[in-house]
Amino acid sequence: MDNFKGRVALDVEWNAKDGNLDRDLSAYRAWHEAGVISAAVLITQDRLALKELANRIWASYQETLPIGQRNPRLPVDLSTSTTTNLEKAALRVRRGVMGTCPLLVVAATQATWNGQPYSA
């Protein structure tokens, strides 16, 4: 776990392997059943939505460059589907991996972007 505040565990799972979700949700369950925590919070990403947003921002930025300097490929690889994300967390929550431990999942989405254009 990344942090504890009172009886709440908080974990940020952004680009970890998705197996970390099983480990973390099982830990929430065990700690809740043992009376160590009352709830947990998981912060992650909506991978597909953020990939779409990155593509859109990058394409918009490319239009500001001279044609000879343009590169349609993102400068980072966002194609992997083996990292932690909202969809994978939701699947595990529906499976009940964390038992009766109350869990709040917070995900960065396109709505979390401030709308400012990218500039190098």
Report yes or no on 74 lying in a domain. Answer: yes
What does pTM read for this prediction?
A: 0.80
pLDDT at 44: 92
Report yes or no on 71 lying in a domain. Answer: yes
Q: Are 100 and 32 in contact (CB under 8 A)?
A: yes
Report yes or no on 37 lying in a domain. Answer: yes
Position 73: which residue type? R
Report yes or no on 18 lying in a domain. Answer: yes
Q: CA–CA separation, 60 vs 111, rounded Å?
A: 18
Q: Which residues constitute the domain of residue 89? A: 3-111
pLDDT, average across residues 75-86 = 81
Number of domains in the chain: 1
Report yes or no on 117 lying in a domain. Answer: no
pLDDT, average across residues 59-84 = 87
Report yes or no on 84 lying in a domain. Answer: yes
pLDDT at 29: 95
Report yes or no on 120 lying in a domain. Answer: no
- 112-119, Cβ contacts within 8 angstroms, sequence gap of 24 or more: 113/53, 113/57, 117/57, 117/60, 117/61, 117/64, 118/57, 118/58, 118/60, 118/61, 119/61
Report yes or no on 119 lying in a domain. Answer: no
Q: CA–CA separation, 22 vs 20, rounded Å?
A: 5
